[in-house]
């Protein structure tokens, strides 16, 4: 490679024209741009998280509890010092008297100057401060848009009315998409008691926020207080912990982006190999001449490899510049899912990664068609019909393929940070590429043998183009097939999720759930449902408790023991349990015996566990669990394991007690009902808000609309990410079409000389790309249906329901685009006269 004459030869040969390579280098530009965008976005996102670390929490320290702070807890909080703010958050219905509409929201009652870092973004801007001065509320912008509410309108929460002081646009450290799932309403803490919503058993989360002095280390402070916090069942969060959690979730997003981009890089490699293959085919005579004058086989390969790499380097630089520009668009596509404002800057590591990946891809995939040049004999310069020996695969080509496979597996494992996921991803990519290549080879083999003679001449000519020498069938199949695969899979997954939610309210299933119904309200609520002709399906008591010990070991010791391998969420969570005589309609007994009632109130009490939580806690039938209800211990024994259908809209529980134990414990009720029609559901919500301010109503129709809205935003973001692969696919398609332009010119000259009209030549091109596009899109659709089925069965745990509309419309659209690209790419050939084409050839 370092011999001067090889470089001179590469330069002299390049003056004859590098157009086929320029088309291949377009794939390098797109691949590098995709990599630079993905890696620069990751670096900029991590920088943004570090820069805005304190605004993610809004304070230096936050301490939270699921119960009101006790006197001991208050003393501990007071001892910490610093500026303090308090917040109580809970779910509740809000009522708009102006329109009579209601909605379940997350109410946050706040005191103090929180947030200390960052700001509540509101409209008008001063509403974030002014709402604290009276019975005012900040209401999520999406809710105000949904109910056409205006600043100054009235809002009722429980028994208290508030004036809407402003629209809430953004909260520090929270993504905008969260507002679609759980819209927020802020009120001053001093008006919380006036709502009369906080009753015994209410599900409320209490937080204390601190702004500490500059010399106080929050992490060190939490470490010193850890034992005390454990005793009081308090959880602490510092800026570093919140930053690590946000950074972890953002890294997951970045990993997905990089994996999607890597598929585009592999596809660009196919485009490079295809373009270099045609270029190398045209250089066989020149290689033979070089061999005649004494050039070594490896030196002839090096001449054209230098040309390829120089152009690849230029393409990599161009792609790096394009990627830097594209990274300004990516945060716009993902803004709903980012908890920070992305700071865009030059990311040297991302640019370097893009250039290295681009050059590496160009080197490996160009070697595949260039290595056979070593086998060209000097005899080829004298006899064009001379054939080079064996057609067996070159061992060096196997080596190149091996390096590519190792690179794919290594990248996948490193990006996913898991051998298991990495190997699955690499296997999935290999399967998709392999099946499409097999499909292309099979199509070529079939068309060589079978072309119906009854077809018109133009169609036979077009189909024959798919198996003739130098055909681009494999490149077209990969480009079009992968693009179709991604698009159909995306739309099928969204269809599956929406249908899954919709089915839970179908038939005779409940579509309304009422929470926090107190004992003294139970009969009145049931009477209200009957008066509105709404069918009450279930009314289930709920008792809140905490886990105290597992198999004789306290929760505190299990959390401190890493070898216990029990998830902390299962040890620290609040268990909302129930009691009844038998199994519910959503449950199935797996093993053990069901106990209808407790045996004289003796302990241990036989309880039923859902199989998932039993696996998480690592317990089985006969094991002892200890619970606490407001300090009262309950010693229980696992009597049986249940399987629960969590998809159905019924009250489901991890732990079910027999009757005769929990009847006197503090409890509330959950009611499941079915309303026929949106009008009945809306009327029920109005009546409940007006008469039972503490009761929350969830309408499954609203959930379905929310899922649709969230998935719509997710789809926009995923489509933007998939755009890299789709654009690369069509770049490969365009390269394949234009690379075979010379062959099409010769064919059109011959056909025109024989008297074929332009319409027949156009029809032949349409037939070629229509059939290739249709088969490729069909193969991609079949892959997508398989992937959608696998996701439904193994990820969503439900029967597969595939969208017939997207599975037919998308392949047809992709086929139409393929035909259009083929006709446009060859249009100049159709318009030229035979004499002009002959002159151009000579």
Count of residues for the chain? 842
Nearest-5° angle of CA 396, CA 402, CA 408?
145
What whole-number distance in Å separates Cα of residue 255 and Cα of residue 494?
21
Spatial neighbors of 310 by CB under 8 A, at least 6 apart, are 10
Least Cα distance to 155 among 170, 171, 144, 141 occurs for 144
What whole-number distance in Å separates Cα of residue 703 and Cα of residue 284?
65
Tokens 């064919």 sit at which residue?
A: 747
- The count of other CB atoms within 10 Å of the CB of residue 314 is 14
Residue 771, classified by CB atoms within 10 Å of its CB into exposed (0-12), middle (13-18) or buried (19+), is: buried
What whole-number distance in Å separates Cα of residue 413 and Cα of residue 361?
18
Q: Do 773 and 815 contact (CB within 8 A), yes or no?
A: yes
Dihedrals phi, psi of 587, to nearest 5 degrees: -120, 155
Spans of the chain below 70 pLDDT: 1-2, 17, 19-20, 177, 180, 199-202, 379-394, 469-470, 497-498, 500-508, 600-601, 649, 701-722, 735-749, 751-756, 758, 794-799, 825-842
- Going by the DSSP 8-state scheme, the letter that residue 508 receives in this structure is T
What whole-number distance in Å separates Cα of residue 61 and Cα of residue 171?
17
Q: Which helix (H) or strand (E) holds 93?
A: strand 83-96
Alpha-carbon dihedral angle through residues 381, 387, 389, 392, given to the nearest 10 degrees: 120
- Preceding peptide of 124 cis, ω within 30°: yes
* pLDDT at position 86: 93
Q: Do 264 and 34 contact (CB within 8 A), yes or no?
A: yes
* pLDDT at position 624: 94
* Token digits of residue 495: 């269809």
Measured in whole angstroms, how far is the alpha carbon of residue 427 from the centre of its chain?
20
- Going by the DSSP 8-state scheme, the letter that residue 794 receives in this structure is I
What whole-number distance in Å separates Cα of residue 324 and Cα of residue 338?
20
What whole-number distance in Å separates Cα of residue 363 and Cα of residue 256?
26
User: Strand pairing partners for 187?
Assistant: 109
Nearest-5° angle of CA 380, CA 381, CA 387?
10
- Preceding peptide of 604 cis, ω within 30°: yes
pLDDT, tens digit (0-9, with 9 covering 90-100), for 735-794 = 666 666 666 666 666 766 666 676 777 777 788 888 888 888 888 888 888 888 877 776
Query: What is the reported pTM?
Result: 0.71
Q: Do 163 and 98 contact (CB within 8 A), yes or no?
A: no
* Token digits of residue 763: 């029809």
Spatial neighbors of 316 by CB under 8 A, at least 6 apart, are 28, 29, 32, 354, 355, 358, 359, 362
Dihedrals phi, psi of 233, to nearest 5 degrees: 55, 45
Cα-trace Rg, the chain: 34
Dihedrals phi, psi of 584, to nearest 5 degrees: -85, 170
Least Cα distance to 672 among 427, 814, 504 occurs for 504
* Token digits of residue 102: 């209601």
Residue 385, classified by CB atoms within 10 Å of its CB into exposed (0-12), middle (13-18) or buried (19+), is: exposed
Residue 498, classified by CB atoms within 10 Å of its CB into exposed (0-12), middle (13-18) or buried (19+), is: middle
* pLDDT at position 601: 66
What whole-number distance in Å separates Cα of residue 591 and Cα of residue 544?
26
* pLDDT at position 389: 47
What whole-number distance in Å separates Cα of residue 287 and Cα of residue 394?
18
Q: How far apart are the first and last CA of the chain?
A: 34
- The count of other CB atoms within 10 Å of the CB of residue 497 is 19
pLDDT, tens digit (0-9, with 9 covering 90-100), for 134-151 = 999 999 988 888 888 899
């Amino acid at each position: 490679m370092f011999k001067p004459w090889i470089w001179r030869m590469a330069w002299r040969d390049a003056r004859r024209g590098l157009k086929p390579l320029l088309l291949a280098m377009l794939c390098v530009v797109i691949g590098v741009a995709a990599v630079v965008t993905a890696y620069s976005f990751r670096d900029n996102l991590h920088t943004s998280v570090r820069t805005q670390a304190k605004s993610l929490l809004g304070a230096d320290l936050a301490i939270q509890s699921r119960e009101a702070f006790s006197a001991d807890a208050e003393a501990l909080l007071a001892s910490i010092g610093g500026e303090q703010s308090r917040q109580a958050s809970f779910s509740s219905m809000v009522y708009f008297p102006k329109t009579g509409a209601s909605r379940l929201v997350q109410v946050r009652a706040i005191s103090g100057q929180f947030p200390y870092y960052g700001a509540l973004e509101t409209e008008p801007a001063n509403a974030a401060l002014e709402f604290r001065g009276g019975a005012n509320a900040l209401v999520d912008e999406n809710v105000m848009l949904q109910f056409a509410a205006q600043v100054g309108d009235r809002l009722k929460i429980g028994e208290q009315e508030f004036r809407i002081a402003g629209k809430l646009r953004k909260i520090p450290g929270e993504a905008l998409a969260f507002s679609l799932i759980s819209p927020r309403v802020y009120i001053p803490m001093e008006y919380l008691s006036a709502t009369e919503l906080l009753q015994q058993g209410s599900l409320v989360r209490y937080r204390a926020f601190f702004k500490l002095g500059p010399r106080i280390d929050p992490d060190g402070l939490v470490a010193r207080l850890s034992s005390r916090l454990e005793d009081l069942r308090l959880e602490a969060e510092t800026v570093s912990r919140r930053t690590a959690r946000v950074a972890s979730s953002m890294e997951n997003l970045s990993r997905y982006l990089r994996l999607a981009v890597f598929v585009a890089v592999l596809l660009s490699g196919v485009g490079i190999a295809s373009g270099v293959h045609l270029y190398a085919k045209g250089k066989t005579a020149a290689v033979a001449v070089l061999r005649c004058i004494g050039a070594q086989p490896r030196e002839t390969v090096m001449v054209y490899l230098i040309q390829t790499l120089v152009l690849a380097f230029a393409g990599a630089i161009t792609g790096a510049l394009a990627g830097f520009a594209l990274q300004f668009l990516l945060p716009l596509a993902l803004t709903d899912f980012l908890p920070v404002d992305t700071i865009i800057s030059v990311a040297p590591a991302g640019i370097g990664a893009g250039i290295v990946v681009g050059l590496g891809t160009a080197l490996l995939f160009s070697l595949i068609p260039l290595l056979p040049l070593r086998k060209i004999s000097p005899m080829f310069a004298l006899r064009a019909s001379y054939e080079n020996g064996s057609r067996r695969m070159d061992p060096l080509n196997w080596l190149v393929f091996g390096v590519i496979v190792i690179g794919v597996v290594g990248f996948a494992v490193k990006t996913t940070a898991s051998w298991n996921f990495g190997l699955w991803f690499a296997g999935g990519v290999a399967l998709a590429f392999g099946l499409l290549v097999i499909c292309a080879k099979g199509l070529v083999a079939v068309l060589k043998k079978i072309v119906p003679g009854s077809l018109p001449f133009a169609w036979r000519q077009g189909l024959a183009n798919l198996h003739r020498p130098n055909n681009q069938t494999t490149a077209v199949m990969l480009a079009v097939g992968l693009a179709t695969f991604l698009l159909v899979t995306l739309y099928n997954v969204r269809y599956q999720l929406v249908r899954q939610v919709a089915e839970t309210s179908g038939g005779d299933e409940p579509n309304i759930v009422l929470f926090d119904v107190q004992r003294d309200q139970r009969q009145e609520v049931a009477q209200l449902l009957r008066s509105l002709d709404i069918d009450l399906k279930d009314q289930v008591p709920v008792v809140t408790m905490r886990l105290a010990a597992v198999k004789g070991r306290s929760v505190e010791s299990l959390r401190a023991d890493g070898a216990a391998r029990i998830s902390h969420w299962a040890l620290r969570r609040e268990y909302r349990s129930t009691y009844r005589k038998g199994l519910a309609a959503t449950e199935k007994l797996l093993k053990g015996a069901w106990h209808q009632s407790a045996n004289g109130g003796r302990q241990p009490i036989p309880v039923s566990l859902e199989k998932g939580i039993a696996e998480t806690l690592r317990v089985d039938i006969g094991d002892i669990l200890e619970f606490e209800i407001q300090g009262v211990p309950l010693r229980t024994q696992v009597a049986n394991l249940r399987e629960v259908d969590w998809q159905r809209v019924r009250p489901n529980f991890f732990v079910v007690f027999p009757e005769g134990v929990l009847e006197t414990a503090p409890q509330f009720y959950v009611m499941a009902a079915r309303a026929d029609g949106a009008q009945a559901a809306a009327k029920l919500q109005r009546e409940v808000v007006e008469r039972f301010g503490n009761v929350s109503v969830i309408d499954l129709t609203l959930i379905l609309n929310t899922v649709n809205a969230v998935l719509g935003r997710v789809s926009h973001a995923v489509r933007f990410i998939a755009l890299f692969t789709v654009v690369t696919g069509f770049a490969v398609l365009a390269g394949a079409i234009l690379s075979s332009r010379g062959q099409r010119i010769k064919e059109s000259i011959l056909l025109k000389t024989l008297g074929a009209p332009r319409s027949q030549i156009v029809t032949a091109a349409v037939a070629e790309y229509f059939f290739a596009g249709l088969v490729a899109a069909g193969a991609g659709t079949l892959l997508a249906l398989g992937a959608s089925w696998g996701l439904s069965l193994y990820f969503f745990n439900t029967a597969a329901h595939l969208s017939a509309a997207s599975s037919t419309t998308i392949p047809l659209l992709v086929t139409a685009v393929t035909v259009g690209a083929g006709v446009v790419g060859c249009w100049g050939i159709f318009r030229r006269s035979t004499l002009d084409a002959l002159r151009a050839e000579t």
